[in-house]
C-alpha cells in the first residue's frame, strides 16, 4: 500500500469479488493509483467459482502485456 507509483509504466490488473473479505483493502489500493489499473470489482467471493470466471480475462491481459 502506498507504493503504487512504483508500478508506473507497468501494465497492472487488479480483480476482486465484491464479497471477498479483501475487497475493501483492494478498493483502497486501486484508489491509490494515478491511473486506474485494468480489471475491477465484480460479483463474487474469494472462491473457486470467482477465479474460474476471471481466469480468461486475466490470462488475456497477460498475453497482451508480456
Closest CA to 33 of 55, 2, 64, 66: 2
Which pLDDT band holds residue 1 (cuts at 50, 70, 90)? confident
Does the CA dihedral 28-33-34-38 come out positive or negative? negative
pLDDT (mean) for 24-40: 97
Query: The whole model's pTM is what?
Result: 0.87
- CA-based nearest residue to 24, from 32, 35, 16: 16
The rounded mean pLDDT for the chain is 96
Comparing C-alpha atoms, which of 53, 33, 31, 32 is closest to residue 42?
53
- Name the 3-class secondary structure at 25: helix
Tell me: pLDDT of 54 over 90. Answer: yes
Amino acid at each position: 500500500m502506498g507504493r503504487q507509483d512504483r508500478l508506473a509504466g507497468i501494465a497492472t490488473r487488479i480483480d476482486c469479488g465484491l464479497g471477498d473479505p479483501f475487497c475493501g483493502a483492494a478498493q483502497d489500493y486501486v484508489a491509490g493509483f494515478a491511473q486506474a489499473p485494468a480489471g475491477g470489482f465484480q460479483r463474487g467471493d474469494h472462491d473457486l467459482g470467482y477465479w474460474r470466471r476471471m481466469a480468461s480475462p486475466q490470462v488475456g491481459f497477460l498475453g497482451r502485456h508480456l
